[in-house]
Amino acid sequence: MDIQKVALITGANRGIGFETAKQLAQQGVTVVLAARQLAAAEQAAALLTGEGFKAHALQLDVTSAQDRTAAAAYLSERFGKLDILVNNAGVAPADSQSLSIGKTIDTSAEEFELIFNTNFFSIVYLTRELLPLLKKSGAGRVVNVSSILGSLTIHAQENSPIAGFQVLSYDAAKAALNMFTIHLARELEGTGIKVNSAHPGWVKTELGGLDAAPMEIIDGAKTSVALALLGEEGSTGRFVHLDQELPW
């Protein structure tokens, strides 16, 4: 059996997800690039295999129970384990691509359901599905791609630097994801599995804004990659941006 580390990255066909897969592959990790559409995953994986990396494509709509079960079966049959899970897939409200529209009390039920289903519930369910495979790794790593917008502490600060980015559905889902990180990390203490939340930064992506965002995609992936490759002495149950710990 191949003893090389195996990583699954969701939403890996473009943006930070693809760059995360690429940087992990550059570190010798076998990467499985997951996307809602198989063709998109295959196209992204082909870019990496064309550079000589070990990359595989997987159709995985994280909101689909059938796809989640199929993903676990594929990884079990193909690799027999999973070393790294990067929960990168996520969405923003359709009318707030810049995440700067405040409409707290008017947030629709449809928006809450879309955002929480993709950005929180599906991550919990997928992680649960893949946990048996992570436990077969000598050093499993779970990286939940969160956002500084999920920090209650920073939102509550006087003159908060993120005061202009109040989108209740998105921010609350990321806060919930951070709570999942805290709880799961605590439950998995002693297993060798480390669970952390990553804030990529404000990155030039379709979600973050191609013009306004100050960070390049190559830098936006660095936090997830570092957390995915943490050594035995690395932290767990933390909220991190690059080498800085953020408040919950």
Instruction: Output the pLDDT for position 96.
Output: 57
pLDDT at 174 over 80: yes
User: In the prediction, which pLDDT does 135 show?
Assistant: 97
- Whole-angstrom distance, CA of residue 129 vs CA of residue 67: 11
Q: What is the mean pLDDT of residues 49-77?
A: 98
What is the C-alpha separation between 199 and 128, in angstroms, rounded? 22
Indicate if 174 belongs to the active site. yes
Residue 74 falls in the annotated catalytic set: no
Mean pLDDT of the chain: 92
**CATH class of the domain at 6-245:** alpha beta
The confidence band for 216, taking pLDDT boundaries of 50, 70 and 90, is: confident
Q: What is the pTM of this model?
A: 0.93
Range 143-167 burial, b when 16+ CB lie within 10 A, else e = bbbbbbbbbeebbeeeeeebeebbb
State the pLDDT confidence band at 100, using cuts at 50, 70 and 90.
low
Q: What is the largest CA-CA distance in the chain?
A: 55
- Among candidate residues 170, 194, 204, 222, the one labeled active-site is 170
Predicted local confidence at residue 212, as pLDDT: 57
pLDDT band at 103 (very low <50, low <70, confident <90, very high): confident
Instruction: Read off the pLDDT of residues 83-97 as tens digits, 9 standing for 90 and up.
Output: 999 999 999 887 755
pLDDT of residue 1: 38
pLDDT for residue 164: 83
Catalytic residue among 81, 174, 194, 204: 174
